[in-house]
Chains A and B, each alone.
Chain A
Amino acid sequence: MAGAPGVGPGAGGGGGAAAGLKTYFKTPEGRYKLQYEKAHSAVLHYSHGGKTVSQLTVAYLKEKPASQGSQPSTPSASSGMRSAAARLLGTGNGSKALSFGGGNGASRAVAGSSRVGGGLGTPTGLGGSQGGTNYDGKGTYIVFNAADTLFISDLNSQEKDPLKSIHFSNSNPLCHAFDPEAKEGHDLIIGMGSGDVYSMSLRQQLQDPGRKPVAALHYNKGDKDVSPNGSRCTSVAWVPEREGIFVVSHSDGNLYVYDKNKDGNTDCTFPAVKDQSQFMVAHAKSSKSNPVARWHICQGSINAISFSPDGAYLATVGRDGYLRVFDFSKEQLIFGGRSYYGALLCCTWSSDGKYLLTGGEDDLVQVWGMDDRKIVAWGEGHNSWVSGVAFDSYWSPPSSDGNGENVYRFGSVGQDTQLLLWDLALDEIVVPLRHPSSASPTFSSGSPSTHWDNACPPTGVLQPSPRMRDVPKLSPLVAHRVHADPLSGMVFTSESILTICREGLIKIWVRPEQSENNQQSNSSEFALGPASKDRAITSSNKASSSSFKKLPPVLVT
Chain B
Amino acid sequence: MVMGASGSKLEKALGDQFPEGERYFGLENFGNTCYCNSVLQALYFCIPFREQLLEYYANNKTPGDAEENLLTCLADLFMQISQAKKKTGVIAPKRFVQRVKKQNELFRSYMHQDAHEFLNFLLNELVDILEKESSAAKDSPQSSSPEKAPNGPVQPLANGVKKEPPVTLVHKSFQGILTNETRCLRCETVTARDETFLDLSVDIEQNSSITSCLKNFCSTETLNAEDKFFCDKCCSLQEAQKRMKIKKAPHILVIHLKRFKYIEQLGRYKKLSYRVVFPMELKLSNSSDDVDTEYSLFAVVVHVGSGPNHGHYVSLVKSHNHWLFFDDENVEMVEEQTLQTFFGTSHEYSGNTDHGYILFYEGLGGKS
Name A's B-contacting residues (CB within 8 A). 1-13, 47, 49-50, 321, 340-343, 361-363, 382-385, 415-417, 439-440, 443, 445, 464-465, 467-468, 484-486, 556-557
Please tell me if the beta carbons of B277 and A341 are within 8 angstroms of each other in the complex: no
Q: What mask results when residues 233 to 246 of chain B are scored 1 for a CB within 8 Å of chain A, else 0?
A: 00000000000011
**How far is B342's CA from A416's CA once the two chains are assembled, in angstroms?**
16
Q: Is B8 an interface residue (CB 8 A)?
A: no
Further contacts, 17 of them, CB under 8 A, given A6-B351, A9-B349, A384-B211: A2-B330, A3-B302, A3-B342, A7-B351, A11-B348, A11-B349, A340-B283, A341-B281, A341-B283, A342-B281, A343-B280, A361-B281, A362-B211, A415-B275, A468-B285, A486-B207, A557-B287
Closest to A9 in B: B349
Please tell me if the beta carbons of B346 and A486 are within 8 angstroms of each other in the complex: yes
Tell which of A13, A342, A362, A465 touches B368, judged by Cβ atoms closer than 8 Å.
A465
Q: Is B332 an interface residue (CB 8 A)?
A: yes
How many A-B contacts at CB < 8 Å in the complex? 122
Please tell me if the beta carbons of B207 and A416 are within 8 angstroms of each other in the complex: yes
Q: Is B291 an interface residue (CB 8 A)?
A: yes
Could you jot down 20 A-B contacts, CB within 8 Å? A2-B330, A3-B302, A6-B352, A8-B350, A11-B348, A49-B351, A341-B283, A341-B294, A343-B279, A343-B280, A361-B277, A384-B207, A384-B212, A415-B209, A415-B277, A416-B207, A439-B290, A443-B290, A464-B368, A468-B285
Q: What mask results when residues 308 to 331 of chain B are scored 1 for a CB within 8 Å of chain A, else 0?
A: 000000100000000001010010
Q: What mask results when residues 345 to 368 of chain B are scored 1 for a CB within 8 Å of chain A, else 0?
A: 111111110100000000000001
Residues of the A chain whose Cβ atoms lie less than 8 Å from the Cβ of B22: none
The minimal Cβ–Cβ distance linking B144 to chain A, given in whole angstroms, is 38
Tell which of B211, B304, B334 touches A363, judged by Cβ atoms closer than 8 Å.
B211
Name B's A-contacting residues (CB within 8 A). 205, 207-209, 211-212, 215, 218, 245-246, 275, 277, 279-283, 285, 287, 290-292, 294, 302, 304, 314, 325, 327, 330, 332, 334, 338, 340-342, 345-352, 354, 368
Please tell me if the beta carbons of A3 and B325 are within 8 angstroms of each other in the complex: yes
**How far is B211's CA from A342's CA once the two chains are assembled, in angstroms?**
11
Please tell me if the beta carbons of A383 and B350 are within 8 angstroms of each other in the complex: no
Residues of the A chain whose Cβ atoms lie less than 8 Å from the Cβ of B345: 5
**How far is B243's CA from A556's CA once the two chains are assembled, in angstroms?**
12
The minimal Cβ–Cβ distance linking A271 to chain B, given in whole angstroms, is 21
**How far is B278's CA from A384's CA once the two chains are assembled, in angstroms?**
9
Please tell me if the beta carbons of A11 and B212 are within 8 angstroms of each other in the complex: no
Please tell me if the beta carbons of B280 and A4 are within 8 angstroms of each other in the complex: no
Residues of the B chain whose Cβ atoms lie less than 8 Å from the Cβ of A361: 209, 277, 279-281
Please tell me if the beta carbons of B314 and A1 are within 8 angstroms of each other in the complex: no
Please tell me if the beta carbons of B291 and A445 are within 8 angstroms of each other in the complex: yes
The minimal Cβ–Cβ distance linking B168 to chain A, given in whole angstroms, is 29
Please tell me if the beta carbons of A383 and B290 are within 8 angstroms of each other in the complex: no
Closest to B334 in A: A1
Residues of the B chain whose Cβ atoms lie less than 8 Å from the Cβ of A342: 279-282
Residues of the A chain whose Cβ atoms lie less than 8 Å from the Cβ of B290: 439-440, 443
Residues of the A chain whose Cβ atoms lie less than 8 Å from the Cβ of B291: 443, 445, 467
**How far is B349's CA from A9's CA once the two chains are assembled, in angstroms?**
8
Residues of the B chain whose Cβ atoms lie less than 8 Å from the Cβ of A4: 341
Tell which of A2, A468, A486, A556 touches B327, judged by Cβ atoms closer than 8 Å.
A2
A465-B368, A557-B287 known; A363+B349 contact, CB < 8 A: no
Please tell me if the beta carbons of A363 and B275 are within 8 angstroms of each other in the complex: no
Residues of the B chain whose Cβ atoms lie less than 8 Å from the Cβ of A341: 279, 281-283, 294
Please tell me if the beta carbons of B292 and A468 are within 8 angstroms of each other in the complex: yes
Please tell me if the beta carbons of B281 and A321 are within 8 angstroms of each other in the complex: yes
**How far is B18's CA from A163's CA once the two chains are assembled, in angstroms?**
51
Please tell me if the beta carbons of B347 and A47 are within 8 angstroms of each other in the complex: yes
Please tell me if the beta carbons of B207 and A415 are within 8 angstroms of each other in the complex: yes
Residues of the A chain whose Cβ atoms lie less than 8 Å from the Cβ of B350: 5, 8, 10, 47
Please tell me if the beta carbons of B275 and A486 are within 8 angstroms of each other in the complex: yes
Please tell me if the beta carbons of B314 and A3 are within 8 angstroms of each other in the complex: yes
The minimal Cβ–Cβ distance linking B232 to chain A, given in whole angstroms, is 26
The minimal Cβ–Cβ distance linking A324 to chain B, given in whole angstroms, is 18
Please tell me if the beta carbons of A385 and B277 are within 8 angstroms of each other in the complex: yes
**How far is B349's CA from A2's CA once the two chains are assembled, in angstroms?**
20
**How far is B297's CA from A343's CA once the two chains are assembled, in angstroms?**
13
Please tell me if the beta carbons of A3 and B340 are within 8 angstroms of each other in the complex: no
Residues of the A chain whose Cβ atoms lie less than 8 Å from the Cβ of B285: 468, 557
A4-B341, A49-B352 known; A11+B209 contact, CB < 8 A: no
The minimal Cβ–Cβ distance linking B172 to chain A, given in whole angstroms, is 24
Please tell me if the beta carbons of B351 and A484 are within 8 angstroms of each other in the complex: no
Please tell me if the beta carbons of A416 and B208 are within 8 angstroms of each other in the complex: yes
The minimal Cβ–Cβ distance linking B92 to chain A, given in whole angstroms, is 20
Please tell me if the beta carbons of A5 and B211 are within 8 angstroms of each other in the complex: no
The minimal Cβ–Cβ distance linking B3 to chain A, given in whole angstroms, is 16
Residues of the A chain whose Cβ atoms lie less than 8 Å from the Cβ of B304: 3
**How far is B207's CA from A3's CA once the two chains are assembled, in angstroms?**
20
A11-B348, A341-B282, A467-B292 known; A383+B277 contact, CB < 8 A: no
**How far is B211's CA from A486's CA once the two chains are assembled, in angstroms?**
16
Please tell me if the beta carbons of B351 and A47 are within 8 angstroms of each other in the complex: yes
Residues of the A chain whose Cβ atoms lie less than 8 Å from the Cβ of B281: 321, 341-342, 361
**How far is B279's CA from A439's CA once the two chains are assembled, in angstroms?**
28
Residues of the A chain whose Cβ atoms lie less than 8 Å from the Cβ of B280: 342-343, 361
Residues of the A chain whose Cβ atoms lie less than 8 Å from the Cβ of B207: 383-384, 415-417, 486
The minimal Cβ–Cβ distance linking B280 to chain A, given in whole angstroms, is 7
**How far is B325's CA from A468's CA once the two chains are assembled, in angstroms?**
34
Closest to A342 in B: B279
**How far is B338's CA from A9's CA once the two chains are assembled, in angstroms?**
22
Please tell me if the beta carbons of B209 and A50 are within 8 angstroms of each other in the complex: no
**How far is B334's CA from A478's CA once the two chains are assembled, in angstroms?**
40
Closest to B243 in A: A557
Tell which of A12, A340, A416, A439 touches B212, judged by Cβ atoms closer than 8 Å.
A416
**How far is B342's CA from A47's CA once the two chains are assembled, in angstroms?**
15
Closest to B302 in A: A3
Please tell me if the beta carbons of B209 and A10 are within 8 angstroms of each other in the complex: no
Closest to A439 in B: B290
Residues of the A chain whose Cβ atoms lie less than 8 Å from the Cβ of B334: 1
The minimal Cβ–Cβ distance linking B243 to chain A, given in whole angstroms, is 9
Tell which of B208, B282, B342 touches A383, judged by Cβ atoms closer than 8 Å.
B208
Which of B208, B215, B282, B291 gathers most chain A CB within 10 Å?
B208
**How far is B302's CA from A13's CA once the two chains are assembled, in angstroms?**
26
Tell which of A13, A363, A465, A485 touches B209, judged by Cβ atoms closer than 8 Å.
A363
The minimal Cβ–Cβ distance linking A432 to chain B, given in whole angstroms, is 19
The minimal Cβ–Cβ distance linking B282 to chain A, given in whole angstroms, is 6
Please tell me if the beta carbons of B347 and A12 are within 8 angstroms of each other in the complex: yes
**How far is B346's CA from A440's CA once the two chains are assembled, in angstroms?**
45
**How far is B330's CA from A468's CA once the two chains are assembled, in angstroms?**
42
The minimal Cβ–Cβ distance linking B82 to chain A, given in whole angstroms, is 25
**How far is B304's CA from A2's CA once the two chains are assembled, in angstroms?**
10
A416-B208, A417-B207 known; A485+B346 contact, CB < 8 A: yes
Please tell me if the beta carbons of B346 and A3 are within 8 angstroms of each other in the complex: no
Closest to B296 in A: A341
